[in-house]
Chain A
Amino acid sequence: MKRKNISILLLLLLGFGNLFEGCKSSDVDATNSTSTSTGTSTGTTTGSTTSNSSSITTALSVTGTTTTCNSTGVAQIVCLAEAFKATLSSTQLAATQLTYSKTNAQKWSNLPAGMSARIGINLGSLSDTQLAAFRNLMVAVLTLGTTDEGYDEMIGNLVADDYLNSIGGGSTYGAGNYYISFLGTPSTSSLWAILFTGHHYTQPITFNAGAVTGVTPAFRGTEPQAAVTAASRTYQAFEQERVAFAAMLTGLSTTEQTTAKLSGSYNDLVLGPGQDGKFPATKSGLQVGTLSSDKQALVLKAIKLYVNDLDATTSAAILTKYTSELANTYISYSGTTAMSSQGDYVRVDGPSVWIEFSYQGGVIIKNTPHSHSVWRDHSGDYGGN
């Protein structure tokens, strides 16, 4: 008798329940869903939820001062990276310290890490001491002290993911599933990168010869979009961006809106993970240079909410560039201008800057939209490598 594969059978039995689920060919009760694609929007997200904060976000939220590494700039970041590495065991270090390659740098996604494997070491496997060293490092590369921006936005993002975990999203969600790695050895002379990536948050920072050479592609998003409370703090990590885009679009005249409106629909990001270097050859929408200065300021305000997440020195340099290119930057959108319904989409496409924001269907929280957003740079993604 031909030998039978037991694993096939076990998998088959596991899948048995699903089979019958899948066999149902009846229509689905429409009352299960609420219409989200039509109707006027209020421009707000409603409701607030409470998360049982994980020990990770609690540890990371502690605001302590960095006692080591009194140097500045990249030298300080290298010092803090080394300090973090020094807390790791040799096994942990081997997972964290990787070689620099484009292939490694491209290993990010907007899926939970359980669905799209990340490289590096996950926060869930770090001790409080190690988390503190990680925090010192991230505080140095991100801006500190602004609610729901910079480092605070990162924490809020982890808190939101903890919430998804706690409401039945499963073990693939949560702060423990965010990964930190060093691609190349941190130094003030060579090419290396910090890659912090998890479900709704990816921030790479590429260094070369003692300078920051790239901070994109950076992914931001959050589910739920509504506020989440943890450790007596209420986070709404990615709400200001959504509001800023709505303000930018509703601030336009009807004619300007018509010019800015894209003909297609967008249910997700165009240049999400894996879509590197595919910037459209022709820009779509409305040229910012044709707008009044107050409307241009609204565009810049939205851009700042991304750029200013980074430490002051880095963000200032990038912002100067984006501001100088603002007149030749285009904005476009699809769906409604309120950025409050599923299918609402907005894009900022400049000579350098590329930002997309997509307000899309809920995954864990059904029928409630949530945001995905990617910030790229036409020439600066992965530090231009």
Chain B
Amino acid sequence: MSIKLLPTNKSGRLSSRLSNWLLGISLLVVTLGQPRLATAHPMPNSVVLLNVHVNRIDAELQIPLVELQSAWGHAVNDSSVGLVERLGPQLRDYLKSHIRPQSPDGRFWSVSVGELTAHESQNPITGVYRELTAQVQLVPPAGSDVRQFTFQYDAVLHQVMTHKILVSVRQDWECGQLAETEPVQVGEISLDIVNNRILPLPVNLASGSFWTGFMAMIKLGTQHIAEGTDHLLFLLVLLLPAPLVVVGQRWGQFGGVRYSLKRLLLIVTAFTIGHSITLLAGSIGWVRLASQPVEILIVVSILVSAIHAVRPVFFGREAWVAAGFGLVHGLAFASTLANLQLDAGPMALSILGFNLGIELMQLTIILVVIPWLMLLSRTPVYTVVRRSGAFLSGIAALGWLAERISGQPNLLTEAIEVIASYAPYGLIILALLSLYLTWRARPAKPLPTA
């Protein structure tokens, strides 16, 4: 099993895709000696990662250059500088002649080799090594099923008998498998030692459906919010002063249930509209912003909301601010979707499903937090709660700001993640506190007469 560090091509945000990879890698590094590594070979393997679409497969090939050199003759490993510039066309021809998927009826698929990159990779057994990554598109002939084929693949292996090729599905939207999770291995292509031959790998992917894909996207949306501490914090801080009226230049008393709900609804809806617009635009590719400024703007949105929670700086215009920052948050969501590189149909469903998931999770959070905030906001303690909440969020935002500018995590951001894991307990304390204070503040009832 070869362990790879994926180059992050699109999003710099530590999206869950990346974190899952990192998790996978770290786990593998930490738990070396697990069964599948038990008899692993020291030579790095080739890896083929399949992204299954409705009518094509986008494959990413990872080929160790030291092995490719043995197979191909060219000094690709000894002299890997400018490799793609120097040998690009020959490399493409070589790969094309060794990748021949075939439908059950015998017809061969069309294969086109796209982007090639040479870079460093590493696994715990061989350490750092150089590898070639190739993006290859596999298209079955008309009327042929994309999910069933004989994978005739023998790049490197046609010559290097000790080579191994691990084939995995990285993304299969219709089966609800997204690139967020660890690839699922479908097989290994290697020499049949006894008979001295290389057998093609039969690939039979379980048939999926748009419904499965849609549901997976809803799940992804909820996960994205649940794990997106920054998104949540922005929303919570923005909602913190929402039940209150303004007196002069300061936050005043609880404005009543009707008043609070109206304002909460307005803010949440405005935020939703904002992020839905950019999520749509970003996923389709109309808008593409570098991730770092987006990430920094998200932090700014928390800071601004925190200030507002202390002193009303944009009272009455919360909806516009929420919508504006919604646009920013939507861009961050969009990068997750854009990375899936889906076709139009699945993409439309994905945008819908992903957004639905986001809304569901937001709604859940609001439903479990807002009642207590509204109860508390009727008590004098709320000023302390509001100000501490705003202050702590501001500190967290500053920590993230430093992280996102420098690209390095710091003690503060590490602490946030630890604290965030205790959030459910915080919620219980909040609930108990609000219930206790509400109970204490209730008008004294006359004693029942005997």
Find out whether the CB atom of A18 lies under 8 angstroms from the CB atom of B5. Answer: yes
Is B93 part of the binding interface, using a Cβ–Cβ cutoff of 8 Å? no
| Whole-angstrom distance between the Cβ of A128 and the nearest chain B Cβ | 28
Is B290 part of the binding interface, using a Cβ–Cβ cutoff of 8 Å? no
User: Which of A109-151 touch B at CB < 8 Å?
Assistant: 109-111, 113-117
Is A361 part of the binding interface, using a Cβ–Cβ cutoff of 8 Å? yes
Is B429 part of the binding interface, using a Cβ–Cβ cutoff of 8 Å? no
- Chain A residues whose C-beta falls within 8 Å of the C-beta of B423 in the assembled complex: 1, 3-4
User: What does the 1/0 interface line of A15-45 toward B look like (CB < 8 Å)?
Assistant: 1101111111111111001111110000000
Q: How far is the CA of A267 from the CA of B26 in the complex (A)?
A: 28
Find out whether the CB atom of A28 lies under 8 angstroms from the CB atom of B417. Answer: no
CB closest residue in chain B, given A17: B408
Number of A-B contacts (CB under 8 A): 198
Q: How far is the CA of A188 from the CA of B237 in the complex (A)?
A: 78
CB closest residue in chain B, given A13: B409
CB closest residue in chain B, given A370: B42
Find out whether the CB atom of A27 lies under 8 angstroms from the CB atom of B195. Answer: no
| Whole-angstrom distance between the Cβ of A125 and the nearest chain B Cβ | 17
Is A278 part of the binding interface, using a Cβ–Cβ cutoff of 8 Å? yes
Find out whether the CB atom of A8 lies under 8 angstroms from the CB atom of B23. Answer: yes
Given contacts A115-B33, A360-B42, are A27 and B119 in contact (CB under 8 A)? yes
Find out whether the CB atom of A109 lies under 8 angstroms from the CB atom of B38. Answer: yes
Interface residues of A (CB under 8 A from B): 1-6, 8-9, 11-16, 18-30, 33-38, 107, 109-111, 113-117, 172, 262, 264-275, 278-282, 284, 343, 358, 360-361, 363-364, 372
Find out whether the CB atom of B70 lies under 8 angstroms from the CB atom of A37. Answer: yes
Find out whether the CB atom of B79 lies under 8 angstroms from the CB atom of A3. Answer: no
- Chain B residues whose C-beta falls within 8 Å of the C-beta of A9 in the assembled complex: 414, 417-418
User: Which of B58-90 touch A at CB < 8 Å?
Assistant: 66-67, 69-71, 75, 77-84
Q: How far is the CA of A29 from the CA of B80 in the complex (A)?
A: 7
User: What does the 1/0 interface line of B335-376 toward A look like (CB < 8 Å)?
Assistant: 000000000000000000000000001000100000000000
Q: How far is the CA of A268 from the CA of B5 in the complex (A)?
A: 24
Given contacts A13-B414, A18-B5, are A28 and B80 in contact (CB under 8 A)? yes
Given contacts A22-B6, A28-B80, are A115 and B32 in contact (CB under 8 A)? yes
- Chain A residues whose C-beta falls within 8 Å of the C-beta of B82 in the assembled complex: 27
| Whole-angstrom distance between the Cβ of B198 and the nearest chain A Cβ | 10
Find out whether the CB atom of A1 lies under 8 angstroms from the CB atom of B365. Answer: yes
Can you give 30 A-B contacts (C-beta < 8 A)? A1-B226, A1-B232, A2-B226, A4-B421, A8-B23, A16-B22, A19-B8, A22-B5, A22-B6, A22-B121, A24-B7, A24-B120, A27-B82, A27-B83, A27-B84, A34-B78, A37-B75, A37-B78, A114-B32, A116-B32, A265-B71, A265-B160, A267-B43, A268-B43, A270-B193, A273-B38, A278-B193, A363-B125, A363-B126, A364-B127
CB closest residue in chain B, given A364: B127
Q: How far is the CA of A343 from the CA of B69 in the complex (A)?
A: 11
- Chain B residues whose C-beta falls within 8 Å of the C-beta of A26 in the assembled complex: 119
Find out whether the CB atom of A4 lies under 8 angstroms from the CB atom of B160. Answer: no
Find out whether the CB atom of B119 lies under 8 angstroms from the CB atom of A116. Answer: no
| Whole-angstrom distance between the Cβ of A104 and the nearest chain B Cβ | 13
- Chain B residues whose C-beta falls within 8 Å of the C-beta of A12 in the assembled complex: 14, 19, 22-23, 26
- Chain B residues whose C-beta falls within 8 Å of the C-beta of A117 in the assembled complex: 33, 38
- Chain B residues whose C-beta falls within 8 Å of the C-beta of A28 in the assembled complex: 80-81, 118-120, 130
Find out whether the CB atom of B159 lies under 8 angstroms from the CB atom of A264. Answer: yes
Find out whether the CB atom of A15 lies under 8 angstroms from the CB atom of B38. Answer: no
- Chain B: residues with Cβ within 8 Å of the partner, total of 75
Find out whether the CB atom of B7 lies under 8 angstroms from the CB atom of A23. Answer: yes
Residue of A35, A262, A265 with most chain B CB atoms under a 10 A cut-off: A265
Residue of B82, B83, B421 with most chain A CB atoms under a 10 A cut-off: B421
- Chain B residues whose C-beta falls within 8 Å of the C-beta of A38 in the assembled complex: 75
User: What does the 1/0 interface line of B24-58 toward A look like (CB < 8 Å)?
Assistant: 01110010110001111111000000000000000
Find out whether the CB atom of A270 lies under 8 angstroms from the CB atom of B161. Answer: yes
Q: How far is the CA of A25 from the CA of B118 in the complex (A)?
A: 7
Find out whether the CB atom of A15 lies under 8 angstroms from the CB atom of B25. Answer: yes
| Whole-angstrom distance between the Cβ of B229 and the nearest chain A Cβ | 8
Find out whether the CB atom of A4 lies under 8 angstroms from the CB atom of B417. Answer: yes
Q: Which residue in B19, B69, B80 is a CB contact (below 8 Å) of A37?
A: B69
Q: Which residue in A6, A19, A37, A343 is a CB contact (below 8 Å) of B417?
A: A6
Q: Which residue in B70, B81, B159, B408 is a CB contact (below 8 Å) of A29?
A: B81
| Given A27-B119, A280-B196: 5 more A-B contacts, CB < 8 Å | A1-B423, A25-B7, A111-B42, A266-B162, A361-B66
| Whole-angstrom distance between the Cβ of B20 and the nearest chain A Cβ | 9
Find out whether the CB atom of A3 lies under 8 angstroms from the CB atom of B417. Answer: no
Q: Which residue in B22, B78, B408 is a CB contact (below 8 Å) of A11?
A: B22
Is B381 part of the binding interface, using a Cβ–Cβ cutoff of 8 Å? no
Given contacts A16-B409, A109-B39, are A4 and B227 in contact (CB under 8 A)? yes
Q: How far is the CA of A269 from the CA of B193 in the complex (A)?
A: 11
Is B143 part of the binding interface, using a Cβ–Cβ cutoff of 8 Å? no
Find out whether the CB atom of A25 lies under 8 angstroms from the CB atom of B78. Answer: no
CB closest residue in chain B, given A29: B81
Find out whether the CB atom of A116 lies under 8 angstroms from the CB atom of B38. Answer: yes
Is B139 part of the binding interface, using a Cβ–Cβ cutoff of 8 Å? no
| Whole-angstrom distance between the Cβ of A223 and the nearest chain B Cβ | 10
The 10 lowest CB-CB distance pairs between A and B, nearest first, are: A22-B5, A274-B39, A2-B226, A11-B26, A1-B423, A117-B33, A15-B22, A264-B161, A268-B162, A273-B39
Is B257 part of the binding interface, using a Cβ–Cβ cutoff of 8 Å? no
Q: How far is the CA of A181 from the CA of B120 in the complex (A)?
A: 39
CB closest residue in chain A, given B232: A1
- Chain A residues whose C-beta falls within 8 Å of the C-beta of B365 in the assembled complex: 1
| Whole-angstrom distance between the Cβ of A324 and the nearest chain B Cβ | 25
- Chain A residues whose C-beta falls within 8 Å of the C-beta of B14 in the assembled complex: 12
Find out whether the CB atom of A280 lies under 8 angstroms from the CB atom of B194. Answer: yes
User: What does the 1/0 interface line of B123-154 toward A look like (CB < 8 Å)?
Assistant: 01111001000000000000000000000000
Q: How far is the CA of A6 from the CA of B23 in the complex (A)?
A: 12
Is B427 part of the binding interface, using a Cβ–Cβ cutoff of 8 Å? yes
Q: Which residue in A6, A23, A30, A273 is a CB contact (below 8 Å) of B81?
A: A30
CB closest residue in chain A, given B423: A1
Is B106 part of the binding interface, using a Cβ–Cβ cutoff of 8 Å? no
Q: How far is the CA of A372 from the CA of B130 in the complex (A)?
A: 22
Find out whether the CB atom of B18 lies under 8 angstroms from the CB atom of A19. Answer: yes
- Chain B residues whose C-beta falls within 8 Å of the C-beta of A361 in the assembled complex: 43, 66, 126
Q: Which residue in B81, B191, B421 is a CB contact (below 8 Å) of A3?
A: B421
Q: How far is the CA of A279 from the CA of B43 in the complex (A)?
A: 21
Given contacts A25-B119, A29-B81, A363-B126, are A281 and B424 in contact (CB under 8 A)? no
